[in-house]
Amino acid sequence: MASKIRYLKTSDIAKELRVHVNTVRLYEEWGYLPPIPRAKNGYRQYSPMHMEYARLAIMAIRWPYLSDKPQLEEMVKSAANGDLGMAMERAYQHLAFVRTERTYAESAIEFLERWAAGHLMDRPRQRVNISEAARHLNVTVDMLRNWERNGLIDVPRDPVNLYRLYGTAEFGRLRVIRTLVQSGYSLMAILRMMLHFDAGKTENLREALTVPESEDEPIQIIADRWLVGLIEQEERAQAIIRQISHIIEMAHALHQPRK
* 213 shares its domain with 129: yes
Residue 129 domain-assigned (yes or no):
yes
Rounded average pLDDT over 140-144: 97
How many distinct structural domains can be found in the chain?
A: 2
- Which one, of 53, 36, 54, lies nearest residue 45 by Cα? 36
Range from 3-17, 19-33, 99-113, 216-230 carrying the lowest mean pLDDT? 216-230
Q: Are 176 and 140 in contact, with CB atoms under 8 Å apart?
A: no
* 115 shares its domain with 201: yes
* 55 shares its domain with 163: no
CA 183 from centroid of its chain's CA atoms? 11
* 108 shares its domain with 28: no
> Residue 32 maps to which CATH number?
1.10.1660.10
* 117 shares its domain with 218: yes
DSSP 156: -
Buried b (16+ CB within 10 A) or exposed e, 35-74: ebeeeeeeebebbeebbbbbbbbbbbbeeeebebeebbbb
Q: State how far the Cα of 192 lies from the Cα of 51, in Å rounded to an integer.
A: 43
Structural domain boundaries, residue 8: 1-59
Task: Summarize pLDDT for 30-66 with one digit per residue, the tens.
Answer: 999 999 999 889 889 999 999 999 999 999 998 877 7
Q: State how far the Cα of 2 lies from the Cα of 258, in Å rounded to an integer.
A: 12
* 108 shares its domain with 55: no
4 compared with 196, residue with greater pLDDT: 196
* 127 shares its domain with 208: yes
* 42 shares its domain with 129: no
**Residue 44, SS3 per DSSP:** strand
Residue 114 domain-assigned (yes or no):
yes
* 45 shares its domain with 116: no
Residue 133 domain-assigned (yes or no):
yes
